[in-house]
Amino acid sequence: MIKVGMILGDRYEILEKVGMGGMAEVFKGKDHKLNRFIAVKVLKEEFRENDGFVKKFKEEAQAAAGLAHPNIVNVYDVGDENGIYYIVMELVEGITLKSYIERKGHLTVKEATSIAIQVSAGLEVAHNNQIVHRDIKPQNIIISKEGKVKVTDFGIAKATTSQTTTSSAMGSVHYASPEQARGGYVDHRSDIYSLGIVLYEMVTGRVPFDGDTAVAVAVKHLQEPMVLPSTYNQEISYSLEQIIVKCMEKSPDRRYQDMEDLIADLKQSLMTPDEDFVKRVDLDSQAKTVVMKKENTAKVKAARKIEPVEEEEEDDDEYDDDEEDDDDEELSPAVERIMTIAGIALAVIIVVVMLFFFSRMLGLGDKKNSEEDNKQQTEDMADAEDKEDEKDNNGVNTVVMPNLLGKTMTEAKIELDNLGLGAPVLTGSEASNEYKEGEIIRQSIKAGERVEVGSTVEVVNAKAGTSTTTDTEKPEDKKEQATVPNVVGQTEANARSALEAAKLKVGSVTEANSDTVQSGYVISQGLTANSTVEQDTSVNLVISKGPNKVKVTDVIGHEESRATGELQGDGFKVVVKDIYTDEMREGLVVSTSPSKGELVDPGSTVTISVSRGKEQITIPAVSVGMTFEQAVDELEDAGFEGTIREASESSESVGEGYVTRYDPKSRRTVDPDGTVTIYISTGPAHKEEPDPEESKTDESNSGLPSD
């Protein structure tokens, strides 16, 4: 049992419990060897005897151990001691993205995009190292107090080769990709799908697919079209919505194929939010659905071995023990089989009905149709509902062709994609007084007709210069038009002047950090340059605040090793400078340059001044013929301010009254306020002459005969 004060591995002290997940507990600790605070993730006691959980726990450490990146919670060490399995990680003090979303309701487009870029950067490193996370969700994304976004919990991550990996393990069902939901093959594109859902939740405050059970949610991932996020948040930019749509394509081949492309589009969306630059992948429109014969289907079912999936608890939140996650229900192959059988029967009905109502909700079909078209559409839809369960004579799956009139090519493509139909083929443009330029006015396959999956439809749209006036709207009622100037890269003042000259208004002005755009200059504008809008339309501006700055950590008074570790952990380069001072004892940091709390560029060099105690002085050498007064002057010139004592001693080589030596000896170091003794010569030692009378006495007593 883990207790506060326990030492693991002879170096990691347990300080306090900070969080708990389904499989492990997280403690704040201190690494006494490197003198830094760390997080210690410990496998729960009830799982230590289960080889499966122990293996999963070790795999998490192995998956994350080699992923050193600012946007990944770094793993420092792993070990086991007396049956206690633990992982030593970077300590990140902050809040989970899930809690952050719940606190704010939904995030701004700029904030959500910035977070997504940082998560993508971390996942890019994992994918480049052949690691698929497989459980990307807001609960596994931490925002530090400094605003740094970090991906954590590689508990069900898998290492891959050039081929994909299949596994029964599935992350939270609300964020699981369709291939995860059906227990199929998964690769890095599964993480991209999950990240798309996280983006969706950030800008809307809700997940795109929800239900009473995990199976219900999984069915929606597999079959239901996504309600566009702009339905719930009209402030979302066009480009970001298209990015989310591409991330959440049900086919992995139609999603972003790597994080590099996703990051590029996310950054572009910050610069040009309303431009249509997201490239969608068109699959072969001539592809046909292949129906397996009954005997082949039977062989596949017989060959498929259904194994029970071991129930695994999820280790969700690294540091937030108030977070509950009830999403982690496993979808077993048996459930999948039942779901497939039921889904085949209901899929067509669900898709048609949902598309019909969603189109009404989104207003996609809210165009002025003629009475004849509306009547025909009603009749076609009624006929289609009576034939929902029909297939053609060859058993090929079919769907009902939706009404495309009044929709743009992009809107039509999205709707057809969700039905498994090919992208619409534009065959021409015609003048129309009923539809706007670019809107579809005619389709080769009528709405309500049943067509084979994979089929394509030819369309004609309204051409440029088409009149779009209605009975209630006359040309003379329209406002004068204005062309939006390109103000990106201009100063705020110049941008305002340019917009006013174009007879446009300046809308909201917000600030954002930028590594490429100088402070005070426009990063992006709300309306696309050279587009035509009504005069007096507001154009929103984003102004650069310059590069994102970070605070210099306060390490004054810390030991040199601890201060160095803390600064390096924050991404700084460290240079040590020795100084002599009596302000701090030897070995402690006296000051930093730049100063503590100062905002600097990430990765900057910080110089720490470390105390080496009081400055020592060197006792000067004794010069020949130096008097006591001269010796005192030389000591003071050397910086000595302590006590000077005088003593005498005889000397055969130094004349009387001159300095013979110092104590401490010359060229020795001493505290500037210590004690030095100066010795003065008294001359050679005195020798007594023999007394002549005593000499005579000695001779008389010698016992020799006298003369």
Residues acting as catalytic residues: 135
CA 649 to chain centre: 77
Cβ atoms of residues 436 and 462 within 8 Å: yes
- Please state, in angstroms and rounded to a whole number, the distance separating the CA atoms of residues 651 and 681: 6
Q: What residues contact residue 301 under an 8 Å CB cut-off, 6+ apart? A: none
Q: Other CB atoms closer than 10 Å to residue 326's CB: what's the count? A: 10
Helix (H, G, I), strand (E, B) or coil at 211: coil
Which helix (DSSP H) or strand (DSSP E) does residue 696 occupy? helix 692-700
- Please state, in angstroms and rounded to a whole number, the distance separating the CA atoms of residues 572 and 565: 10
Q: Give ∠ CA 138-141-145 in degrees, rounded to 5.
A: 120
- Amino acid type, 279: K
Nearest to 283 by CA among 458, 417, 444: 417
Tokens of 533: 């809008």
Nearest to 550 by CA among 575, 567, 574: 567
Nearest to 351 by CA among 397, 410, 392: 397
Which helix (DSSP H) or strand (DSSP E) does residue 605 occupy? strand 605-611
- Please state, in angstroms and rounded to a whole number, the distance separating the CA atoms of residues 181 and 179: 5
Taking CB atoms within 8 Å and a gap of at least 24, the contacts of 260-266 are 260/124, 262/120, 262/192, 262/195, 263/117, 263/120, 263/121, 263/124, 265/239, 266/113, 266/116, 266/117, 266/120, 266/240
- Please state, in angstroms and rounded to a whole number, the distance separating the CA atoms of residues 357 and 57: 45
- Amino acid type, 416: L
Site of tokens 């601890």: 562
Nearest to 92 by CA among 122, 112, 134, 117: 122
Q: Could you tell me the CA-to-CA distances from 235 to 536, 580, 645 in Å, in that order?
A: 20, 59, 84
